[in-house]
Structure 1
Amino acid sequence: MLFDTHTHLDAPQFDEDREEVIARCVEGGVSKMVNVGFNRETIPTTMTLAEKYDFIYAAVGWHPQDAITMKEGDLEWIASLCQHEKVVAIGEIGLDYYWDTSPKDVQHKVFRQQIGLAREIKMPIVIHNRDAHEDVVRILREEKAHEVGGIMHSYSGSWETAKICLDMGFHLSFGGPITFKNAKQPKEVLAQVPMERLLIETDSPYLTPHPYRGKRNESAHVRLVAEAAAQIKGVDIEEIARITTRNALDLFGIL
């Protein structure tokens, strides 16, 4: 059984066939998923999914691209939702220097606030990091994120950065890019990550794995990620499925 630790099944790309997409996940052996709500619009739709399906859990947080939209009271809203039995992490949070949608100082403030909340309520965090490796690591250290740990979502950094994140207690999660022929660095990093810190994901509807690259991604494709991870690690897919599912259950506190 597979665990997709990061998906966006509430995205508008699924509005026409969401139930069929979720059914394909179950048929394909995906036993559990974490849907990620990351702003004012997607947090409520994520909660709706988590409440409707017993195998879908929720992560809630404020995405760095949307940091500028965070208002007074939103942090308290996230904190209140974290009391819900289906909410298992705060995320996705972090820094994004690729899309120029929120000033860096605002991103830093919102990132720090949410790490602080996670430490206060003892909940793992899901990190979005795009072209901001140095600052992400620095802020995680300064805000003592090692106290809660979490996931480096869709990891794309170097092994040197990965080692720092592992030392802080984080898991590294890999998605569709490890199936790409030219994705040398993620494959090299995955090969070195300890099995007990490895997770898999889709980030659907984005980052579709080969051979469906260019089309809409969906959580059932996490099997393709597992197959690629198994090949890189030199084990069979059943071993990858067993270990990554157990890692996710333990990290999220799902019984």
Structure 2
Amino acid sequence: MKNSNNILKEKGNKALLYDFHTHVENIDELESYFDLNIIPIINISNFHEWEILKKSDKWEKYSESINNNFYISVGVHPFDSTPWSEKTEIFYNNLSKYSSFVGEIGMDSCWSNVDKSIQKSNFEKSLYFAYKNNFPVILHTKNMEGEIYDIIRKYSLRFIVHWYSCENYIDEYISLGCYFTFGPALLEDKNIRTLAKKVPLDRILIETDGLCALKWLYNKDVSENELRYYLEITIDEIAQIKGISPRKMVDIVNTNSEFLLRKGDKNG
């Protein structure tokens, strides 16, 4: 590879965007972000997801781009929770040298069938790992917003709240200095629109949550080539809510993203 830092800069014809929370199922999806001039923050929730990327014959080429053209977040998702074990410790410790964030972690009483005591234990131990290593945290809060707030307010950490769709606790999370990722559900969900109206401009990030989430949201197939479109319509909608131009909104979101990525990069 001639220069791993120039994958995105060579695109040039579209403004750089950040997808601050996503999931990829294979290396081809990662490549699609480069093609669309998007820097993704990719969640890895277990060794299997990591191995899918590493086993690709393209991985060596792109692994040099970590913390330049894409970033990694590592965290035990509430859906995947099993009791904390030595394997969990190994997962976090082995991948921490690649990652810039812990997440997405949290609790979920809507879609997850995992025992809540297990979710809470894993969440608190993940938070402690983030605290020990000074990692910002990406949060999953579905239907557990109050319980999660009561836990995270005890930690001096930087929090990014992913896809927050709750009419309650908005002021409390904002008061903690949390950042919030917005995706195209903003166009569909009145709670997310209320959040967008309240959140300060310097706490706003954008996300797709990956192709699977987009397919779920719209109940239709979504291709890799559409990822940028869904980020752009999110930007346009937030700009309209905030009463500023989409171009200005891109600048604000990129500034917020780059600030967190400098803070998240252990070598930065």
Bin of the TM-score, shorter chain as denominator length: 0.7 to 0.9
- Structure 2 residue 258 is the aligned partner of structure 1 residue 249: yes
- Structure 2 residue 48 is the aligned partner of structure 1 residue 41: yes
1:85-133 CA deviation, whole Å, 9 max, x = no partner? xx21000100011224310000000000010111111110000111111
TM superposition score normalised by structure 2: 0.79
User: How much has 1:208 moved relative to structure 2?
Assistant: 2.8
Q: Out of 185, 189, 195, which is 2:191 matched to?
A: 185
Give the structure 2 partner of residue 233 of structure 1. Answer: 242
Unaligned 5+ segments in structure 2 are 1-15
Q: Cα–Cα, structure 1 residues 19 and 67, in superposed 2: closer, same or farther, change >3 Å?
A: closer
Distance in 1 of aligned mates of 2:223 and 2:170? 26
1:1-47 CA deviation, whole Å, 9 max, x = no partner? 211101112x2xx67x5366334422xxx2x2101111232244467
- Structure 2 residue 85 is the aligned partner of structure 1 residue 77: no
1:151-172 CA deviation, whole Å, 9 max, x = no partner? 10011122x4122112222101
- Paired residues for 1:1-255 under 5 Å: 1-9=16-24, 11=25, 18=29, 21-26=32-37, 30=38, 32-45=39-52, 51=63, 53=65, 54-68=68-82, 70-84=84-98, 87-141=99-153, 144-145=154-155, 147-158=156-167, 160-180=168-188, 183-208=189-214, 214-216=220-222, 218=224, 219-220=227-228, 221-253=230-262
Task: Please tell me the residue identity of whatever aligns with 2:231.
Answer: V
Give the structure 1 partner of residue 6 of structure 2. Answer: none
Q: Cα–Cα, structure 1 residues 41 and 184, in superposed 2: closer, same or farther, change >3 Å?
A: same
User: How much has 1:150 moved relative to structure 2?
Assistant: 1.9
Q: Which has the larger radius of gyration?
A: 2
Are the equivalent residues in 2 in contact too, given 1:79–1:117 (CA < 8 A)? no
Task: Please tell me the residue identity of whatever aligns with 1:245.
Answer: N
Distance in 1 of aligned mates of 2:162 and 2:113? 20
Unaligned 5+ segments in structure 1 are none
Task: Please tell me the residue identity of whatever aligns with 1:223.
Answer: E
Task: Please tell me the residue identity of whatever aligns with 1:172.
Answer: F
SS at match of 1:92: strand
1:180-218 CA deviation, whole Å, 9 max, x = no partner? 2xx112112101110011111110113439x96633265
Give the structure 1 partner of residue 4 of structure 2. Answer: none
Are the equivalent residues in 2 in contact too, given 1:208–1:217 (CA < 8 A)? no
Are the equivalent residues in 1 in contact too, given 2:46–2:91 (CA < 8 A)? no
Tell me whether 50-59 or 109-118 shows the greater mean CA deviation: 50-59
SS at match of 1:126: strand
TM superposition score normalised by structure 1: 0.83
Distance in 2 of aligned mates of 1:45 and 1:227? 34
Percent of matched pairs sharing the same residue? 24
Q: Cα–Cα, structure 1 residues 161 and 68, in superposed 2: closer, same or farther, change >3 Å?
A: same
Distance in 2 of aligned mates of 1:41 and 1:244? 32
Tell me whether 109-118 or 243-252 shows the greater mean CA deviation: 243-252
By relative contact order (CA 8 Å, sep 6+), the higher-ranking structure is: 1
User: How much has 1:52 moved relative to structure 2?
Assistant: 5.7
Are the equivalent residues in 2 in contact too, given 1:118–1:124 (CA < 8 A)? yes
Aligned length: 238
Distance in 2 of aligned mates of 1:194 and 1:114? 28
Distance in 2 of aligned mates of 1:58 and 1:44? 14
Tell me whether 234-243 or 42-51 shows the greater mean CA deviation: 42-51
